[in-house]
């Protein structure tokens, strides 16, 4: 008889962190439901959470280690594979030093695995060259919020959308497709009377719910938000007591935004002056306004600048530190918040303690019983350039796919292919694994114990649903084995034992235990064993003391259209797929609904090119080209084309620009100049 079972766990796709009840029949997932009292999602699930998990039992799963022999990846034993990885990493370190080795951790893995990954790089290898995909999505938001108030996470809870917020400023976020369950709450908030200010170049579902829609040209966010600050100061709508008591830098900000009159902003951004004035008034005069933003703001070379202009608005108007008010970068991957919390960042240790500070390093020297490196680490965008320059010789990639997700792939792929040694630990043979010297098969989310931290800082349990395939192993056990082979025996016997160490390393997690987070999780900060967790941040002030208002100058995108490349390309997701498509394209139902890529072209541009929907076109940038069917639609302005990044056969990152934000080193995925050619 086939055994039926049900396990409560947490979704592995996006950062909303929906609670799942996964029903199994034998060794297959039969259906997925969610309890009505689930804290993040109240029983709601999107199409990915409901129907997107058959990838776990895909026949494509990696089930045994692979070693490249004679140019071909061949099956090997675990002992052979781990011995080879340990030997090559040790040789590289001996010959070139620890700085010649880098590691990319995974926002799809658990907190426990991310914690051990950065500990492995720092204590076993001896380098701070560790990073994760936050560099490619919200690094600029995190940098800006840290600069403005000394924090790195969403201020609010999803639950505040249900009751507290009466004005939402949503920008650079197609929330319906990227964070579908949060979009449900946004729409419900509008239905109960909240106002929605949408700042978004593309027509999206939320447009229909907006009180005012500012349709800016891609890459002009700084001008728009400086313009709102101009109106707020000009009309005396700012909060003088809040500004006087809790902020610094008002005079400098007021001077910097003076030139950004609504008329000037209209010229730069295309946003009508009257709409800008309406949005500014609405935000400033609402009783409780929250700002929510996505990668449309952060993935620019001015991503930090634009995020700072959002922080300025919240601080100017005192729209932070009370229920329903705050700054909310919506985190993308299921555990991208947790990977950052765990210190998978070159400049920040677990708990966001600065890696450049001697007292921080001494604290971790004591905790881990080592002498940590004192040199600066590289971001993953810097690692690619360092690999080209021969400075990074070996790379350890756990659960990431830079050969598809990095910008300007014709630059990134040769860097990866040219490494002396590339080890990839993953569940599928993705584009990066195909370049590897050793591939280590790992467990998926559905096979492991651990925790994920969602976008609202909620630490939740992940529990095994199915047995792992073949000889695949869990990530933390692989890391422990390698640490032992490299001379540092670790003695963790469970994910819970690793979590116990995390509590010592990360002050905001100190009060959590598996028993305490068993039902519904807890939101950090949770510093003591009797602390209830924290629903919204900054009720008692900002971690940096006074909030800092930053004057921000406007810069054009790195690449503007010209005669050779007359169109702007911008990128994003679709509801049915996830990132590079490695998982969701192996989910039969999702792939059936959305099986192929497309480039969205405005009807005016399509008419000029003589193309219609379904017709293949070539999209060409200064860095590469792809062939893809056209989809003629007025969702974007004339002159702007849109592609998603889920399809390897039309990899949009062959086109995107790797110009970097100078503070956060995030690439300008969201704007590059292209031409479209009819085939």
Q: Which residues contribute to the site for ligand SF4 (CB under 6 A)?
A: 11, 13-14, 16-18, 41, 45-46, 48-49, 180-181
Task: Work out how close the CB of 600 gets to ligand SF4 at its nearest, in angstroms, rounded to a whole number.
Answer: 23
Distance CA 521, CA 516 (A): 7
Cβ closest to ligand SF4, residue 21 vs residue 91: 21
| Token couple for 595 | 């099986």
User: Cβ closer to ligand SF4: 11 or 22?
Assistant: 11
Please report how close the Cβ of residue 32 comes to ligand SF4 at its closest, in angstroms.
8
558 vs 594, beta carbon nearer ligand SF4? 594
**CB-wise, 41 or 432, nearer to ligand SF4?**
41
177 versus 406: smaller Cβ distance to ligand SF4: 177
Least spacing, CB of residue 575 vs ligand SF4, in Å: 9
Asked if 443 and 457 count as a contact pair (C-beta separation under 8 A), the reply is no
Q: How far is the CB of 175 from ligand SF4 (least distance, A)?
A: 10
- Which is nearer to ligand SF4, 10 or 425 (by Cβ)? 10
Distances (CA, A) of 103 to 118, 282, 354: 8, 45, 19
**Distance in Å, CB of 19 to ligand SF4, minimum:** 9
Quote the DSSP letter at residue 428.
Answer: S
Rounded distance between C-alpha atoms, residue 397 and residue 438, angstroms: 11
Between vectors from CA 328 to CA 326 and to CA 329, what angle results, nearest 5°?
155
**Closest distance to ligand SF4 from the beta carbon of 456 (Å):** 12
Of the pair 16, 76, the CB lying nearest ligand SF4 is at 16
Nearer to ligand SF4, 107 or 620 (CB): 107
Closer CB to ligand SF4, 337 or 379, in the complex: 337
Strand 421-426 versus strand 438-441 pairing type: parallel
Q: Which of 306, 296, 311, 313 is nearest to 201 (CA)?
A: 296
Distance of closest approach, residue 142 Cβ to ligand SF4, in angstroms:
20
CB of 17 to ligand SF4, least distance (A): 6
Q: Which is nearer to ligand SF4, 47 or 254 (CB)?
A: 47
Which residue stretches of 208-261 are H helix? 221-234, 240-246, 250-257
Residue written as tokens 């729409």?
A: 187
Dist CA 331 CA 545 (whole Å)? 25
Please report the DSSP string for 305-369 in residue order.
HHHHHHHHHHHHHT-SSSTT-EEEE---BTTHHHHHHTT-BTTEEGGGEETT-HHHHHHHHHHHT
Determine the distance from the C-alpha atom of residue 436 to the mean position of all C-alpha atoms in its chain, rounded to a whole number. 24
| Pair 432, 438: CB distance under 8 Å | no
- CA distance linking residue 328 with residue 310, whole number of Å: 10
- In the complex, what is the shortest distance from the CB of residue 30 to ligand SF4, in angstroms, rounded to a whole number? 17
Q: Looking at the DSSP assignment, which residues form a beta bridge with residue 452?
A: 460
Q: Which is nearer to ligand SF4, 9 or 380 (CB)?
A: 9
Tell me the torsion sign for CA atoms 489, 492, 495, 500.
negative
Angle at 432 between CA 431 and CA 436, to 5 degrees: 125
CA terminus-to-terminus distance, the chain: 56
Distance CA 665, CA 133 (A): 12
**Based on CB atoms, which residue is closest to ligand SF4, 111 or 657?**
111
Helix (H, G, I), strand (E, B) or coil at 554: coil
In the complex, what is the shortest distance from the CB of residue 15 to ligand SF4, in angstroms, rounded to a whole number? 7
- Are 666 and 381 in contact by the 8 Å Cβ rule? The answer is yes
Output the smallest distance, CB 155 to ligand SF4, in A.
20
Name the residue among 648, 492, 653 with its Cα closest to residue 571: 653
Least Cβ distance, residue 18 to ligand SF4 (angstroms): 3
Distance of CA 508 to the CA centre of its chain: 21
* Separation in Å, CA 259 to CA 192, 262, 462, 677: 37, 9, 51, 40
Burial 433-461 (b: 16+ CB within 10 A, else e): bebbbbbbbbbbbbbbbbbbbbbbbbbbb
Closest of 614, 612, 605, 603 to residue 675, by C-alpha: 605
**Nearer of residues 372 and 583 to ligand SF4, judged by Cβ:** 583
Which residue in the shown chain puts its C-beta closest to ligand SF4? 49
How many CB atoms are located within 10 Å of the residue 543 CB? 14
Which CB atom, from 11 or from 549, has the smaller least distance to ligand SF4?
11
Closer CB to ligand SF4, 43 or 566, in the complex: 43
Helix (H) or strand (E) holding 643: strand 640-644
**Cβ proximity to ligand SF4, 460 vs 621, nearer residue:** 460
What b/e sequence results for 296-307 when a residue is b if at least 16 CB atoms lie within 10 Å of its CB, and e otherwise? bbbbbbbbbbbb
Output the smallest distance, CB 516 to ligand SF4, in A. 22
Closest CA to 458 of 515, 536, 529: 536
- Minimum distance of ligand SF4 from residue 66's CB (angstroms): 30
In whole angstroms, how close is the CB of 188 to ligand SF4 at the nearest point?
A: 15
Of residues 584, 627, 633, 606, the one with CA closest to residue 56? 584
Minimum Å gap between C-beta 450 and ligand SF4 is 16
Three-class DSSP category at 30: strand
């Amino acid at each position: 008889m086939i055994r039926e079972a049900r396990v409560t766990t947490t979704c592995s796709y996006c950062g909303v962190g929906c609670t799942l009840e996964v029903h199994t029949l034998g060794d297959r997932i039969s259906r997925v439901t969610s309890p009505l009292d689930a804290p993040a999602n109240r029983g709601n699930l999107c199409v990915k959470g409901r129907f997107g998990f058959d990838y776990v039992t895909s026949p494509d799963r990696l089930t045994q280690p692979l070693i490249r022999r004679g140019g071909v990846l061949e099956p090997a034993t675990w002992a052979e594979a781990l011995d080879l990885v340990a030997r090559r990493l040790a040789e590289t370190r001996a010959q070139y030093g620890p700085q010649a080795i880098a590691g990319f951790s995974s926002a799809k893995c658990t907190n426990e695995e991310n914690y051990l990954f950065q500990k492995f790089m720092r204590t076993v290898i001896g380098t701070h060259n560790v990073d994760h995909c936050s560099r490619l999505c919200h690094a600029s938001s995190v940098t800006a919020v840290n600069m403005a108030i000394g924090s790195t996470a969403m201020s609010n809870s999803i639950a505040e959308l249900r009751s507290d917020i009466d004005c939402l400023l949503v920008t650079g976020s197609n929330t319906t497709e990227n964070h579908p369950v949060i979009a449900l709450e946004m729409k419900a908030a509008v239905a109960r009377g909240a106002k929605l200010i949408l700042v978004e170049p593309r027509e999206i579902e939320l447009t229909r719910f907006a009180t005012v829609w500012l349709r800016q040209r891609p890459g002009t966010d700084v001008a728009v938000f400086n313009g709102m600050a101009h109106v707020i100061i000009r009309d005396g709508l700012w909060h003088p007591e809040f500004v006087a008591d809790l902020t610094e830098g008002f005079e400098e900000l007021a001077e910097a935004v003076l030139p950004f009159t609504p008329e000037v902003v209209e010229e730069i951004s295309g946003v009508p002056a009257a709409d800008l004035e309406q949005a500014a008034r609405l935000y400033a005069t609402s009783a409780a306004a929250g700002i929510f933003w996505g990668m449309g703001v952060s993935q620019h070379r001015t991503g930090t600048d634009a995020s700072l202009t959002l922080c300025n608005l919240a601080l100017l108007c005192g729209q932070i530190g009370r229920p329903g008010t705050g700054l909310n970068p919506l985190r993308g991957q299921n555990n991208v918040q947790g990977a950052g919390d765990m210190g998978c960042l070159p400049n920040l240790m677990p708990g966001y303690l600065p890696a450049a500070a001697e007292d921080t390093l001494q604290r971790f020297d004591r905790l881990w019983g080592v002498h940590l490196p004192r040199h600066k680490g590289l971001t993953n965008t810097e690692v690619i350039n360092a690999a080209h320059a021969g400075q990074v010789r070996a790379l350890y990639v756990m659960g990431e796919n830079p050969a598809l997700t990095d910008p300007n792939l014709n630059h990134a792929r040769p860097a990866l292919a040219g490494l002396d040694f590339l080890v990839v630990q993953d569940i599928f043979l993705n584009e990066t694994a195909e370049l590897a010297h050793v591939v280590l098969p790992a467990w998926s989310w559905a096979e492991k114990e651990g925790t994920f931290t969602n976008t609202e800082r909620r630490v939740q349990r992940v529990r095994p649903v199915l047995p792992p395939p073949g000889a695949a192993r869990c990530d933390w056990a692989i890391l422990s084995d390698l640490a032992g082979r490299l001379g540092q025996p670790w003695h963790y016997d469970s994910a819970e034992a690793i979590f116990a160490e995390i509590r010592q390393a990360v002050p905001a997690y100190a009060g959590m235990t598996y028993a305490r987070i068993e039902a519904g999780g807890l939101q950090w900060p949770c510093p003591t064993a009797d602390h209830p967790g924290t629903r919204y941040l900054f009720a008692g002030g900002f971690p940096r003391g006074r909030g800092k208002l930053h004057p921000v100058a406007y810069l054009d995108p790195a690449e503007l259209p010209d005669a050779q490349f007359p169109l702007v390309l911008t990128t994003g997701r679709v509801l049915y797929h996830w990132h590079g498509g490695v998982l969701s394209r192996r989910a039969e139902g999702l792939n059936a609904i959305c099986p192929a890529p497309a480039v969205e072209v405005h009807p005016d541009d399509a008419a000029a090119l003589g193309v219609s929907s379904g017709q293949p076109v070539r999209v060409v940038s200064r860095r590469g080209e792809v062939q893809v069917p056209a989809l003629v639609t007025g969702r974007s302005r004339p002159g702007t084309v849109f592609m998603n990044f889920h399809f390897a056969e039309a990899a949009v990152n062959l086109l995107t620009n790797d110009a970097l934000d100078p503070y956060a080193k995030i690439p300008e995925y969201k704007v590059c100049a292209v031409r479209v050619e009819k085939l």
